[in-house]
């Protein structure tokens, strides 16, 4: 269930699970966010759930935090 912007997450998998549950995983972000992946690749995150094109690390951000790159969390490779 959607709890507005009051949700707290312990890890990136919980963020990605929430975005998927809400049906936003394939939704486009209002503005692309710059991501510096752990593998050293830099890319623009375009969707609420996105994947590094170099190593397949999955990243997620909730709609309430989509404006803040520091709220993007990694969920794991091919999560």
Mention every residue, 6+ apart, whose C-beta is less than 8 A from residue 45: 29, 32, 33, 34, 35, 59, 61, 72
- Residue 7 included in any domain: no
Residue 2 predicted with pLDDT over 50: no
First-to-final CA distance of the chain: 22
> Could you tell me if residue 40 is inside a domain?
yes
Domain annotation covers residue 4: no
Does residue 42 sit within a domain? yes
For the entire predicted model, the pTM comes to: 0.91
73 in a structural domain:
yes
Asked if residue 27 is part of any domain, the answer here is yes
Q: How many domains does the structure of the chain reveal? A: 1
Domain enclosing residue 46, as ranges: 12-77
pLDDT tens, 17-72? 999 999 999 999 999 999 999 999 999 999 999 999 999 999 999 999 999 999 99
Q: Is residue 20 part of a domain?
A: yes
How confident is the model over 22-34, as pLDDT tens digits?
Answer: 999 999 999 999 9
């Amino acid at each position: 269930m959607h709890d507005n912007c009051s949700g707290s997450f312990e890890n990136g998998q919980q963020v990605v699970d929430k975005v998927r549950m809400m049906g936003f995983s394939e939704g486009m972000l209002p503005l692309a966010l710059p991501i510096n992946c752990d593998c050293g690749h830099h890319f623009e995150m375009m969707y609420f759930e996105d994947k590094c094109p170099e190593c397949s690390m999955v990243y997620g951000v909730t709609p309430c935090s989509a404006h803040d790159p520091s709220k993007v969390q990694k969920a794991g490779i091919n999560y």
